[in-house]
């Protein structure tokens, strides 16, 4: 990372709340991590532990704010619905229209029926990748089918989003190394946590050495900072992610509406623009839009 990127924009801003007017920047944004929560349509067992998310967050609630912020397209990220509803969720969200132009569907790559499931998902127009949340489930890596099943994704033209906790990065690295033909996207910068970053930095750098892994510039306000965060809280993790993966291997995600637990879509976009100050317009365009179009085959 250049010295001007490391230093620009920090003085007088590092300990201040984000100015939301900074969100209205001219850059085009492709959001690779939009969740829609519709409890009248689907069930989400995990939401029982998140009272603030126990209501409807539909496309209409997202669309107006996203348009104002320059988000021109979005990928829907599976929301860990009840197992029997995974394919129904993918069908539903890919039929909603602008700005959703594709989806990352749920799946179970550790189970024997994965080959048939993923073939059905790949046949759905708009499905660009799949995900199963691995975080907090170290036993999933012991599945004798996991590597074999994930290797099927390449021939189907599907990516796999890795959702792991910071201390689980070595497990993710070992898995991705066994599937060199599969394109992996690390969600939420590998969830570094709000504490000391040394172990996360080392493990992230090791993962980044694998050419088949890219990183999603998302989740920092939820996983790398306290609830009442400032730019100073976000900057160490953000700078390490950009330095480690480089401008060609980063995509942007909102993590809406999870981002509303510690801020808002507008605040996260504004923070992103400040964190990217000092980089060139071409570099910003890659992280905010064109990398996503290439990696998820959106163009």
In the chain, where do the E strands start and end?
A: 29-34, 71-77, 100-106, 127-133, 159-163, 184-186, 213-217, 250-252
Q: Domains in the chain, ordered, with CATH?
A: 3-295 (3.20.20.140)
10 Å CB burial of residue 298 (0-12, 13-18, 19+) is middle
Judge residue 10's burial from the number of C-beta atoms within 10 Å of its C-beta, 0-12 exposed, 13-18 middle, 19 or more buried: middle
DSSP assignment of 195-225 equals: S--HHHHHHHHHHHTSTTEEEEE--HHHHSS
297: left (phi over 0), alpha (psi -120 to 50) or beta: left
Beta strands 250-252; 213-217: pairing state: parallel
How far is CA 101 from each of CA 8, 125, 239, rounded to the nearest angstrom? 34, 10, 29
- Cα(128)–Cα(119) distance, rounded to whole angstroms? 12
- Residue 66, classed as helix, strand or coil, is helix
pLDDT values of the chain reduced to their tens digit, one per residue, 299 residues: 333 333 333 323 333 567 887 777 778 999 999 999 999 999 999 999 999 999 999 999 999 999 999 999 999 999 999 999 999 999 999 999 999 999 999 999 999 999 999 999 999 999 999 999 999 999 999 999 999 999 999 999 999 999 999 999 999 999 999 999 999 999 999 999 978 899 999 999 999 999 999 999 999 999 998 999 999 999 999 999 999 999 999 999 999 999 999 999 999 999 999 999 999 999 999 999 999 999 999 97
Cut 0.85: pTM above it: yes
What is the rounded CA–CA span in Å between residue 297 and residue 282?
Answer: 19
Which residues are bridge partners to 100 per DSSP? Answer: 74
CB atoms within 10 A of CB 151: 15
């Amino acid at each position: 990372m250049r010295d001007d990127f490391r230093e620009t924009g920090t003085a007088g801003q590092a300990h201040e709340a984000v100015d939301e007017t900074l969100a209205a920047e001219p850059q085009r944004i492709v959001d690779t991590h939009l969740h829609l929560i519709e409890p009248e349509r689907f069930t989400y067992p995990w939401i029982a532990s998140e009272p603030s998310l126990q209501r409807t967050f539909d496309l209409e609630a997202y669309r107006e704010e996203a348009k104002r912020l320059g988000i021109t397209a979005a990928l829907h990220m599976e929301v860990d619905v009840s197992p029997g509803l995974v394919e129904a969720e993918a069908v539903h969200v890919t039929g909603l229209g602008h700005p959703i132009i594709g989806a990352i569907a749920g799946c179970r790559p550790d189970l024997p029926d994965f080959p048939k499931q993923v073939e059905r998902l790949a046949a759905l127009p708009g499905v660009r990748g799949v995900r199963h949340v691995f975080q907090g489930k170290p036993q999933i890596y012991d599945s004798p089918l996991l590597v074999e099943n994930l290797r099927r994704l390449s021939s189907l033209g599907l990516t796999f989003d890795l959702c792991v906790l910071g201390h689980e990065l070595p497990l993710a690295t070992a898995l991705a190394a066994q599937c060199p033909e599969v394109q992996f996207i690390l969600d939420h910068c590998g969830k570094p946590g709000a504490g000391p970053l040394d172990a996360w930095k080392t493990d992230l750098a090791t993962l980044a050495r694998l050419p088949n892994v890219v990183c999603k510039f998302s989740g920092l306000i939820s996983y790398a900072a306290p609830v009442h965060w400032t730019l100073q809280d976000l900057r160490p993790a953000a700078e390490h992610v950009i330095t480690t993966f480089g401008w060609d291997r980063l995509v942007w995600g909102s993590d809406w509406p999870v981002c509303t637990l510690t801020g808002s879509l507008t605040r996260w976009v504004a923070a992103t623009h400040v964190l990217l100050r000092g980089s060139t317009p071409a570099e910003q365009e890659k992280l905010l839009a064109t990398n996503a179009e290439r990696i998820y085959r959106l163009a």
